[in-house]
Amino acid sequence: MTEKNIRRTSQPQRKKPEGKFTKTSGRLEAPEMELFGIKKAVSIQKIAPPKGSPNAKVRVIPLGGLEEVGRNMMYLEYSDPGSPFNGDIIIIDMGLQFPEENMPGIDLIIPNIKSLINKKHKIKGVIITHAHYDHMGAIPYLMPELKPTIPMFGTDLTLALIAKRQEEYQSPRIHLNFNEINNDTKLDLGAFHLEFFGVSHNIPGAVGVVVHSPVGTILHTGDFKIDQKSKISGTTEMDKLKAFGEKGVLLLMSDSTNAREPGHQYSEVEIQMEMDTIIKNAPGRLIIGTFASLLGRLNEIFQLAEKYDKRVVVDGRSMKSNIEIARRLGYMRINQALMIDISEIKKYPSQKIIILATGAQGEENAVLMRIVTRRHKILHIEPGDTVVFSSSVIPGNERSVQYLTDKLYRDGAEVINYKMLDIHAGGHAKQEDLKNLIRTVKPKFLMPIEGNHSFLRIHSKIAQAAGMTKDKIIISDNGRVVEVSKGKVEMTKEYVPANYIMVDGLGVGDVQEVVLRDRQALAEDGIFVIIAVVDSQSGKVRGSPDIISRGFVYLRESKELLFQTRQIIKRIIEDSTNNMHPVNWDWVKTSLRDKVGQFLFTKTERRPMVLPVVIEV
């Protein structure tokens, strides 16, 4: 599914309410959905989970997302020996996590699915709550290890973006079993009967999941916020959630990403008002950096561009692709006359140009960074430009974003970010919103999910302020099995593997902790290579040992240290080989590594990685 193919497929376009994600009734025509390989999920009429025995349990097993922001994935497993549904599994989300600063060379991190491999024949379905990488980015890596024919469920936009990612993925391509759902779909997946509810987030097509099981109802929010002023980013269906609560929710699993933040999340209406002022008054070109997945924000910008008769350039492959898919599926209304190619910028006054670019997090090869560092073929920062960062800074990216900001000011641009004006509304509920959800759903038990451990603890305090007692709140960890039985939820002492699986280039899981430690050591103190030629008969060193240093000392300015080191190397080798027949060369290398390392630390208080190479002649 190439962009070229998408554009050339004829499809009558629907008119959408301006600035809203709410789709008109009905489904897009079959040819349009077939373009993405998506079929309509078969919806059941009634929700009636099978009856379980008194010993029936649902095992809730998080494989990620409970000790970090990202890598969201969990599965629910029904346990009822003797039942035909015993062992049935559903999976919710398959997300990735981006590497931390202490993970040099790592591209991304995915969940460990070792505990699922021998049970993959019992997986009844995979539900993807929305199309953000931290919820769906691991699919190309994990589904080939499971079974590609397992039904995968998501809204049309979610599945279309997953399908696009699958086609771009350069591993052996597999065809996934896509099944489209909507907010009103009801599914029968073995022991589990599922319903869905729409949520407000910063990408359209996001849903939460209600799992009706033989032991009770489990509600998973996915990522959500409550925006009661606007439908720009979708609507969290509070009436539906209230109805679920009145029927009884045994366990609520709720988003904790913004649990540290007091108050209510900003409404997109407030953001739109700020963006209106900025777009109207920009004295020169307006460059807006944001995420390619913030389709609600992008939709707002297109509407405002039309309002003020400005031309829009979209630069960034992922942003172009996402906008085109959202437009074809009816989630964005774009006046095509406003969109111009990047080569046409000079044809218009600078104050009539808006440039939408990826790279607001300071990513090295993203559009915004290439513009700022003058590596972009066409665009460079000019005095009079206004650059808007319409997204918050992801923890770990502060240094890159600060560099970007400083360089923009040096080049004469004005910079506006979310700390100066309300130009970014996060996609996650803040403290008062979390209380509102708890009071609406009235769960018997709460399990905070999606956040670092401290976020989960803060969410627990929020729940207690909302009226829940501490003994009804489950704070779990990745890999720890939580058992849900009739009227009860408790943590067990059982764990499944949930360690990081690191992706480095084409390697998946072949970089372990020991490799990371070596990379960290190299980054901190460098490498010191010793090459010595030794007479195998006499054990004497021939000539002077060669030394290669990278990231430790500058050799030309360290002649005295190198002279002393060569003398020590000779002495260590000759002492180690004296009266040893046959010579244990492994022991000689170990002695070199330890003693030279200690000597270098004594002289420099640094510990480079010492790699001895002994050549026998």
- CA–CA distance, 295 with 77 (Å, rounded to integer): 34
428 is known as an active-site residue: yes
Please, are residues 288 and 367 in contact by the beta-carbon 8 Å criterion?
Answer: no
Q: Which residue among 255, 315, 385, 433 is the active-site one?
A: 255
Chain segment 34-57, per-residue pLDDT in tens: 556 788 888 887 777 888 899 999
To the question of whether residue 134 is assigned a binding role by annotation, the answer is yes
Give the length of the chain.
Answer: 617
More confident residue, 553 or 380: 380
pLDDT of residue 423: 43
pLDDT of residue 396: 56
pLDDT of residue 461: 97
Verify cis geometry, omega within 30 degrees of 0, for the bond prior to 582. yes
- CA–CA distance, 502 with 412 (Å, rounded to integer): 41
Q: Is the pLDDT of residue 18 over 60?
A: no
- CA–CA distance, 204 with 17 (Å, rounded to integer): 14
pLDDT of residue 30: 46
**pLDDT over 70, % of the chain:** 85
Confidence band for 488, pLDDT divided at 50, 70 and 90: very high
Phi/psi of residue 602, each to 5°?
Answer: -60, -35
What would the mean pLDDT of 447-453 be, rounded to a whole number?
95
Confidence band for 32, pLDDT divided at 50, 70 and 90: low
pLDDT of residue 2: 31
453 is known as an active-site residue: no
pLDDT of residue 316: 82
Q: Is the pLDDT of residue 504 over 90?
A: no
- CA–CA distance, 236 with 228 (Å, rounded to integer): 8
Q: Is the pLDDT of residue 409 over 90?
A: no
Q: 210-224, 303-317, 425-439, 519-533: which range is least confident on average?
A: 519-533
- Pairing state of beta strands 386-389 and 286-289? parallel
Q: How many of the other CB atoms lie within 10 Å of CB of 167?
A: 12
The whole-chain average pLDDT of the chain stands at: 84
Q: Output b/e per residue, 311-348; b: 16+ Cβ within 10 A.
A: bbbbbbebbbbbbbbbbbbbbbbbeeeebeeeeebeee
Please, are residues 203 and 296 in contact by the beta-carbon 8 Å criterion?
Answer: yes
Q: Which residue among 220, 428, 459, 525 is the active-site one?
A: 428
- CA–CA distance, 205 with 111 (Å, rounded to integer): 24
The three-class DSSP label of residue 18 is coil
pLDDT of residue 512: 59
Confidence band for 589, pLDDT divided at 50, 70 and 90: confident
To the question of whether residue 594 is assigned a binding role by annotation, the answer is no
Burial label, 236 (beta-carbon count in 10 A; 0-12, 13-18, 19+):
buried
Q: Is the pLDDT of residue 238 over 70?
A: yes
The residue to which tokens 């709140």 are assigned? 473
What would the mean pLDDT of 253-279 be, rounded to a whole number?
86
- Nearest by Cα to 154 from 187, 189, 179, 124: 179
- Nearest by Cα to 316 from 347, 288, 352: 288
Chain segment 417-430, per-residue pLDDT in tens: 765 444 445 789 99
What would the mean pLDDT of 374-381 be, rounded to a whole number?
87
Please, are residues 361 and 391 in contact by the beta-carbon 8 Å criterion?
Answer: yes
More confident residue, 276 or 153: 153
Q: Is the pLDDT of residue 510 over 80?
A: no
Domains contained in the chain, CATH given? 56-264+427-504 (3.60.15.10), 268-417 (3.40.50.10710), 512-616 (3.10.20.580)
- Nearest by Cα to 232 from 179, 185, 302: 302
What would the mean pLDDT of 283-305 be, rounded to a whole number?
87
pLDDT of residue 474: 97
| pTM across the whole model | 0.80
To the question of whether residue 424 is assigned a binding role by annotation, the answer is yes
The three-class DSSP label of residue 299 is helix
Q: Output b/e per residue, 170-193; b: 16+ Cβ within 10 A.
A: eeeeeebbbbbbbbebbbbbbbbb
Helix, strand, coil percentages, rounded to 5, for the chain: 35, 25, 45
Chain segment 125-183, per-residue pLDDT in tens: 999 999 999 999 999 999 999 988 999 999 999 999 999 888 877 556 678 999 999 99
Contacts of 144 (CB under 8 A, 6+ apart): 171, 172, 174
- CA–CA distance, 420 with 426 (Å, rounded to integer): 15
Could you give the angle at which helices 295-307 and 268-281 cross, rounded to 10 degrees? 40
More confident residue, 61 or 321: 61
What would the mean pLDDT of 261-268 be, rounded to a whole number?
83
Confidence band for 13, pLDDT divided at 50, 70 and 90: very low
Q: Is the pLDDT of residue 250 over 80?
A: yes
- CA–CA distance, 426 with 268 (Å, rounded to integer): 9
To the question of whether residue 518 is assigned a binding role by annotation, the answer is no
To the question of whether residue 425 is assigned a binding role by annotation, the answer is yes
To the question of whether residue 193 is assigned a binding role by annotation, the answer is no
Amino acid at site 278: I
Q: Is the pLDDT of residue 397 over 80?
A: no
pLDDT of residue 152: 96
More confident residue, 516 or 109: 109
pLDDT of residue 27: 40
Highest mean pLDDT of the ranges 99-113, 212-226, 497-511, 602-616: 212-226
